Amino acid sequence: MSTPDPYTRTEILTAAPHQLRSLVLKHAIQEAKRLKQAVENGAGEQILSCGARLRALVLELIPEKSTNIEPSLLARLRSIGVFLYRRIGVACSQRDSIVADEIMKLLVFEQETWEQAVARLPMDPPGDLPPGCTNLAG
């Protein structure tokens, strides 16, 4: 992956956890668009490099096990990530632009859903959450 410009680097280093997920989703969508274009153009080397970068980004989106996250939400987020990871493999190996487009649409949907969840966050999340609550802000 290329080195980010100074502004992007600062944005990443100073972002809250929920903002980091938004940044990764944004970058994953850009990479999915590149993958789709590479598949449509039949650019083999570009397909491989876009696929590898996109897989790395999707792995970043898969949450680790945590006591702060409701188990059913954690399972759903993990299953979405695994599904996307597998579909990237299909798009790359079969050079399927329909699957590449599906990946891009799923990432856009994931980004929109995440933005809706973040919009519901209080500006200053409480330090102590009641049991069973999920702290999306990190």
* Domain spans, the chain: 16-118
pLDDT tens string 72-127: 888 888 999 999 999 999 999 999 999 999 999 999 999 999 899 888 877 655 55
Say whether 137 sits in a helix, a strand or coil.
coil
pTM assigned to the model: 0.79
* Backbone φ, ψ for residue 12 (5° rounding): -70, -45
pLDDT tens string 24-72: 999 999 999 999 999 999 998 999 999 999 999 999 998 888 777 788 8
- CATH level 3 topology of 16-118: Four Helix Bundle (Hemerythrin (Met), subunit A) (1.20.120)
Residues 90-109: b if buried by 16+ CB within 10 A, e if exposed: ebbeebebebbbbbbebbee
Greatest C-alpha distance within the chain: 52
